[in-house]
Each structure stands twice: as structure tokens, then as C-alpha cells.
Amino acid sequence: GEDVEQSLFLSVREGDSSVINCTYTDSSSTYLYWYKQEPGAGLQLLTYIFSNMDMKQDQRLTVLLNKKDKHLSLRIADTQTGDSAIYFCAPSRGATNKLIFGTGTLLAVQP
Amino acid sequence: EAQVTQNPRYLITVTGKKLTVTCSQNMNHEYMSWYRQDPGLGLRQIYYSMNVEVTDKGDVPEGYKVSRKEKRNFPLILESPSPNQTSLYFCASSTRGGQGFGYTFGSGTRLTVV
């Protein structure tokens, strides 16, 4: 079956860069998403990358995709306390764009 | 404002008492889906719908029912809730083929079954 793995916790200092990593098993994923979940809230789409791309940059966010190793990462530059949240990696699958979620990485930003 | 609206936000119920969690979207999306979120397990898909009157099971459908009589609404029905259905539930919607846009999620319904 499909599997998506993320580390559970990451702590950084305000102003530093954060890198959240994800590995997945389904090589047929066409789109790979990053979602953010703040406490008590739903999931907010942060960014995504198409499977034929290696990198995508969107303001402070950089997504890197190594399709050969099935590894996805999200880099947040100049991390702020407002970035503290759970981040989910979610490759999509099939015609229905079903999302396969990892367990999420809790990012804690220390002032 | 484009959104997915779930109700209620919080619900405490007793074992066996039928309940419905409503979900409505105002974006004319074809695809809708229900997920449950449990600690250490991430989000798992319960049911999904590709359009009106078209629904199918996700990864964890046991104990749940859905219906899609109208495009905007996708209620989740628990006919006889049990404590192992205590969870945080999310409804989500997406355009048909909108892979680049992902799913828009509701704010969640926290269900406790005692």
C-alpha cells in the first residue's frame, strides 16, 4: 500500500530556515502537496509541485522533489512564530486526486 | 467567500445514537471527500464523491455512510456510532481534474462518542 513518512517534530529559532522532509512510496503521484494545520483549524493548502519538476519556489517556501528517491522537502526561509503549525505532505493519486497524508510534522518556532 | 462549511464543530454523543455531520461547499466543486484525523495516523479518507449520486469508499469506510443528492452537500452519517469513531473529521472539496489546486478543507468536526 501507499505510505508517506515524515518526522514528527522540528524545532527552529525565529529567523532560521526550516526544512521539513517527506518520503513516499507511490511513484505514480502526479501532484505532491504541502498543507499547514494551525491549532484548532482545518488544513490550508500551502503549495504543491508537479511530478515533472525538481523545484518550485513561492515567496518564502521552496519545494524540492527527488522523484528517483521519492523524497519531498519543504523549506521555509526566515521562519516566523506564525509558522508554528503541523505540516502535512500529501502526494495525490489517481483520477480523483486522492490525497495520501503523512502523519504530519509539528514545527515549533522559538522566539 | 469560497469555503467548505461543516457543522457542528463539536459533538458529544452516546454509543448507538445516529448522527449526521453536514458539509456544504459554495465553489461548484465536483469532488468531495471525508477524512478522519487521529493522532499518529495522519488523515485517512473515509468516503469520496466524484459528482452527484456518485460515491465510493475510501480507506476506512466501516461504520459510515454518505450521500450526494446535490452538488454542494455531502453529509457524513454514522448510523450507530461507537467509541472508536471518536475523532476529528474533515470535509474537503476539489474541482474535477483540479490537481494543481488540491482540496479545500472545512474547519473540522470534533466528535466524541461515549
Q: Which residues in B77-90 are b (16+ Cβ under 10 Å) and which e? A: ebeebeeebbbbbb
Other Cβ atoms closer than 10 A to B12? 10
Report whether pLDDT(A92) > 90: no
Nearest CA in chain B to A34: B102
Predicted local distance difference test score (pLDDT) of residue A2: 59
Which residues in chain A have their CB less than 8 angstroms from residue B50's CB?
A: 96
Size of interface A-B (CB pairs under 8 A): 60
SS3 category, A59? coil
Helix (H, G, I), strand (E, B), or coil: what is residue A30?
coil
Using DSSP bridges, classify how beta strands B42-51 and B31-38 pair: parallel, antiparallel or unpaired: antiparallel
Residues composing chain B = 114
Query: Could you report the per-residue pLDDT of A30-78, keeping only the tens digit for each?
Result: 889 999 999 888 899 999 999 999 999 999 999 999 999 999 999 999 9
The confidence score (pLDDT) of residue A28 equals 83
Contact yes or no for A96 and B50 at CB 8 A: yes
Residue B13 pLDDT class (50, 70, 90 cuts): very high
CA distance B9 to B16: 20
SS3 A70: coil
B70 pLDDT above the threshold of 60: yes
pLDDT band at residue B97 under the 50/70/90 scheme: low
Contact flag B44-A102 (C-beta cutoff 8 Å): no
DSSP 8-state assignment for residue A25: S
Nearest to A103 by CA among B37, B62, B76: B37
Q: pLDDT tens digit string along B38-67?
A: 988 889 999 999 899 999 999 999 999 999
Search chain A and give the residue with CA nearest B56. A96
Average pLDDT over residues A12-39: 93
pLDDT of residue A84: 96
Cβ-proximal residues to A79 (8 Å cutoff; 6+ apart), any chain: A12, A13, A14, A15, A16, A17, A18, A107, A109
Three-state SS string over chain B comes to: CCCEEEECCEEEECCCCCEEEEEEECCCCCEEEEEEEECCCEEEEEEEEEECCEEEECCCCCCCEECCCCCCECCEEECCCCHHHCEEEEEEEECCCCCCCCCEECCCEEEEEC
Mean predicted confidence (pLDDT) in B7-14: 97
pLDDT of residue A26: 84
Q: How far does B61 lie from chain A, in Å, by closest CA?
A: 15
